[in-house]
C-alpha cells in the first residue's frame, strides 16, 4: 500500500517536472532560432556560441559579430546623478543583435546577413541608449547606503543578478536570462507582477 503511494507520488512529481520543462529553457523560446530560414544549421546555440573557432578575446565562446561600441555616446545622467555607462561587458553581446546595427545572421564569421531585429525588440540604435533603463552602470554603493537601493544580497535573493564584485554592475542580464532559465515572460529572471522585479533593487 505504502509502496503504491510512493509510486503514485513519484509519477505525479515527474509529471509536474515535465510540465515545467516545457516552459523553461531556450528550446521554443524567443531565442530559439533553429527553425529560421537564415539559420541553415538547424542548431540553437550556434547563432551565439561555437565550440571551436570562436571570436578571440571574447567571453563565452562568442560566435556573433559584435556591435560597434565606439559609436555609443556617453552623454546621459540618471536622476541620481550617475553618468550612463557606455555599454560594456555582456550587454554588448545582447546589443549585437538588439541595437539593430548588425544582422541576426552575421554569425560564424558571416558578414553578409540581411535579417535584422524587429522594431518591437530593438533596444538602442548604435548611438544612444536614451529612453532605456541604465545598463553598464555600477550598483551604486552610495544609493545602497542612503536606502534608495536594496543591498546586493537582498536584490539577488529576490531573483536579479548583479555582475562582478562589489559594488557590482547592472547589465541586460541583471533583469533578463538569455537562455530563458526561469521560463518567465520576456525572458525575465523574476516575475515583474506588481513590479516585483523593479522592487528587487529599488526600495520603493
Contact 135, 170 (CB under 8 A): yes
Locus of grid cell 553598464:
136
Q: Pattern of binders to ligand HEC over 49-68, x per CB under 6 A? A: x----------x---x----
80 binding ligand HEC? (CB under 6 A): yes
144 binding ligand HEC? (CB under 6 A): no
Q: Contacting ligand HEC (CB under 6 A), which of 1, 79, 193, 194? A: 79
Q: Contacting ligand HEC (CB under 6 A), which of 98, 101, 103, 144? A: 98
Calpha distance 161→174 (Å, rounded): 4
At 26, is the secondary structure helix, strand, or coil?
coil
Q: Contacting ligand HEC (CB under 6 A), which of 73, 133, 157, 164? A: 133
Contact 90, 171 (CB under 8 A): yes
Site for ligand HEC in 161-180 (CB under 6 A): 170-176, 178-179
Burial class (CB in 10 A: 0-12, 13-18, 19+), 25: middle
The four Cα atoms 104, 107, 113, 114 give a dihedral, to 10 degrees, of -10
Residue ranges binding ligand HEC (CB under 6 A)? 26, 30-31, 44-45, 47-49, 60, 64, 78-80, 82, 90-91, 93-98, 104, 117-118, 120-121, 123, 133-135, 137, 139-140, 143, 155, 160, 170-176, 178-179, 186-188, 192, 197-198, 200-202
Amino acid at each position: 500500500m505504502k509502496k503504491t503511494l510512493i509510486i503514485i507520488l513519484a509519477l505525479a512529481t515527474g509529471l509536474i517536472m515535465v510540465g515545467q520543462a516545457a516552459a523553461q529553457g531556450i528550446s521554443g523560446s524567443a531565442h530559439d532560432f533553429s527553425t529560421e530560414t537564415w539559420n541553415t544549421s538547424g542548431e540553437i546555440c550556434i547563432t551565439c556560441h561555437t565550440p571551436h573557432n570562436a571570436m578571440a578575446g571574447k567571453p563565452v565562446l562568442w560566435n556573433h559579430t559584435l556591435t560597434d561600441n565606439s559609436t555609443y555616446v556617453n552623454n546621459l545622467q540618471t536622476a541620481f546623478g550617475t553618468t550612463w555607462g557606455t555599454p560594456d561587458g555582456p550587454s554588448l553581446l545582447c546589443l549585437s543583435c538588439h541595437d539593430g546595427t548588425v544582422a541576426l545572421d552575421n554569425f560564424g564569421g558571416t558578414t553578409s546577413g540581411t535579417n535584422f531585429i524587429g522594431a518591437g525588440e530593438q533596444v538602442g540604435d548604435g548611438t544612444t541608449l536614451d529612453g532605456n533603463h541604465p545598463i553598464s552602470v555600477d550598483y551604486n554603493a552610495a544609493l545602497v547606503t542612503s536606502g534608495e537601493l536594496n543591498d546586493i544580497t537582498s536584490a539577488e535573493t529576490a531573483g536579479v543578478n548583479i555582475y562582478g564584485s562589489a559594488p557590482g554592475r547592472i547589465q541586460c542580464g541583471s533583469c533578463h536570462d538569455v537562455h530563458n532559465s526561469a521560463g518567465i515572460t520576456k525572458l525575465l529572471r523574476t516575475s515583474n507582477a506588481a513590479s516585483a522585479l523593479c522592487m528587487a533593487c529599488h526600495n520603493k
